[in-house]
Amino acid sequence: MANPLYDGLFGIHAEKTTAFLYLPNGQVITHRDFLAKSAQIAHVTAQIGLKPGDRVAVQVEKSAEALALYAACAQAGLVFLPLNTAYTVDELSYFIENSGASLIVCDGGSADQLGIVAKDLNAKIETLNSDGGGSLMEQAREMATSFATVERDGDDLAAFLYTSGTTGRSKGAMLTQNNLLSNAQTLVEEWRFTSADVLLHALPIFHTHGLFVATNVTLAAGGSMIFLPKFDLDQVLDRLPEATTMMGVPTFYTRLLGDARFTKELSAHMRLFVSGSAPLLAETHVQFEHRTGHRILERYGMTETNMNTSNPYEGERRAGTVGFPLPGVEVRICDAEGTAMPQGEIGEIEVRGPNVFRGYWQMPEKTAAELRENGFFITGDLGRIDQDGYVQIVGRNKDLIISGGYNIYPKEIELVLDDQPGVLESAVIGVPHPDFGETVLGVIVPENGVTPDVESIEKAVSQSLARFKHPRKLVMLEELPRNTMGKVQKNILREQYQGMFTS
């Protein structure tokens, strides 16, 4: 194949006049029209002078055009780098500089600020607005509707996704064409996707779940998507009867259950609800089945690996577990040295397979620390495999908070808090939250005799960090609990504040 990812997900539908995207305004985009649009965008990238392997940093609202830009990058052999729309200019500057992006595509509203970043870094900039307007599509509309697909190898890079780390510095996870394609094809089989499926798509398309799972699986199966801009409860309830499948983070399901309009009748046409990106509480699982008759299928994945395990389509979907390793994926439970532990014991989850990424962009040391020479990736998740082979995630060996499916690394927030006047030190922890699963709490130790100004601290945080990372509350403590080695005992803080948002 000339370009496995493009051919396998997009090219196969080139002549199909069947529906691909159902938009909220009633517009239906066929596979053929979608690919014509993406070919036009591919021409724009070529005209700008981008070459295969160049990075395209994208921070735009969810739209058919934004998705077509992903397809265009695949066809033109470019590396697609989607970025959370909540990121501040500070955060974006780092990603753009670190990746060496040649092109930035952003909303018209951020063009001025990002234009300065682009100029500094010698990158081109184009705009794409949520309604499809902006300079990218203005140029695209003048272009031919077919584009000669650029030849690529399965091991060539297809995407970078930035993921934070315990040191607070984000790392660009390099994903190859084969990483993405193999995982999508496996999931089509495992979850029985066909061209008859209509997926209710309410996830963002700048992360693995919404882009490489929901979208790629639908594409690989030749199905269609009801493409909503975001998770809006009313819209989801309204469109659910037309769908056959839905994928979401646990917050989607708890919000649905919190609404009396969500009934068995409303989901009668559905064949599958998938949950992932954060732990699904066993009680949500039970409540959901009770209300709808459907058992949510929980699976486990990561930015670096796409999907690793899944509960079975047929057979018992066991609450509190993430099911079995996917075909071709090896999962083992190890000690810190990488020695496999006996069945049933708790250790660190390691995974190996065609889904596992190539490494972190220009960070060989970080890559070596997490990706073993034998190909196993150290996930940082703690788990066990039960006697029936189900994988259970019991905790994390990494200082990470997952809020509504978004990963938040405390270090990044602590660095900002520690920098504020009157703050001696800080600790950021995750505490249970009824809507987001976990939320961020900042614990601040003031300098002797000083009362820090909370309002100005919050202002500083909001200038540098995306909204979803902001502590929902800041509390003051005289000192942080530490062990004999001087390490902050976050477990004690978590215990102390665990009821802050739930009771």
**Residue closer to ligand AMP, measured from CB, 56 or 302:** 302
What are the two backbone dihedrals, phi and then psi, of residue 359, each rounded to the nearest 5 degrees? 140, 180
Size of the site for ligand AMP (CB under 6 A): 18
Q: Which residues, in sequence order, are bridge partners of residue 395? A: 382
d(CA 284, CA 498): 19
Residues from 191 through 220 that contact ligand AMP (CB under 6 A): 208
Residue 292 lies near ligand AMP (rule: CB under 6 A): no
Candidates 151-159, 175-183, 221-229, 272-280; binding stretch for ligand AMP (CB under 6 A): 272-280
- Per CB under 6 A, 215 contacts ligand MLC: no
Closest CA to 278 of 299, 292, 304, 309: 299
Beta strands in 341-399 (DSSP E): 347-352, 359-360, 377-385, 391-396
Single out the residue of 30, 312, 411, 468 in contact with ligand MLC (rule: CB under 6 A).
Answer: 468
**Minimum separation from the CB atom of position 467 to ligand MLC (A):** 4
Quick one: which of 51, 264, 290, 467 contacts ligand MLC (CB under 6 A)?
A: 467
Answer yes or no whether residue 207 interacts with ligand MLC by CB under 6 A.
yes
Binding test (CB under 6 A) with ligand AMP, winner from 277, 311, 420, 439: 277
Q: What is the DSSP-derived secondary structure letter of residue 486? A: S
Q: At what angle do helices 31-48 and 64-76 cross, to 10 degrees?
A: 60
CB 69 within 8 A of CB 128: yes
Element (H, E) at 65: helix 64-76
- Alpha-carbon gap, residue 215 to 208, rounded angstroms: 10
Give yes or no for residue 188 binding ligand MLC (CB under 6 A). no
Among positions 65-124, residues that touch ligand AMP (CB under 6 A) are none
* 452: amino acid identity, one letter: P
210 makes contact, choosing from ligand MLC, ligand AMP, none, with CB < 5 to 8 Å by partner type, with ligand MLC
Give yes or no for residue 300 binding ligand AMP (CB under 6 A): yes
The reply on whether position 62 binds ligand MLC by CB under 6 A is no
Task: Note the maximum CA span of the chain.
Answer: 72
Of ligand MLC, ligand AMP, none, which one sits near residue 410, judging by CB under 5 to 8 A according to partner kind?
none
The DSSP element (H or E) to which 119 belongs, if any, is helix 111-121
- Out of 301, 323, 359, 442, name the contact with ligand MLC by CB under 6 A: 301
251 binds, among ligand MLC, ligand AMP, none (CB under 5 to 8 A by kind): ligand MLC
DSSP designation for 86: T
Reading the block at residue 479, the tokens are 């000192």
Q: How far is the CB of 459 from ligand AMP (least distance, A)?
A: 27
Site string for ligand AMP, 391-410 (x = CB under 6 A): --x--x-----x----x---
Q: Which helix (H) or strand (E) holds 274?
A: strand 272-275
| Full strand arrangement of the beta sheet holding 324-325 | 28-30, 19-22, 224-227, 198-201, 245-248, 272-275, 297-302, 306-310, 324-325
Binding site for ligand MLC (CB under 6 A): 203-204, 207-210, 230-231, 249, 251, 276-277, 301-303, 403-406, 436, 467-468
Binding site for ligand AMP (CB under 6 A): 163, 208, 276-279, 298, 300-303, 322, 379, 381, 393, 396, 402, 407
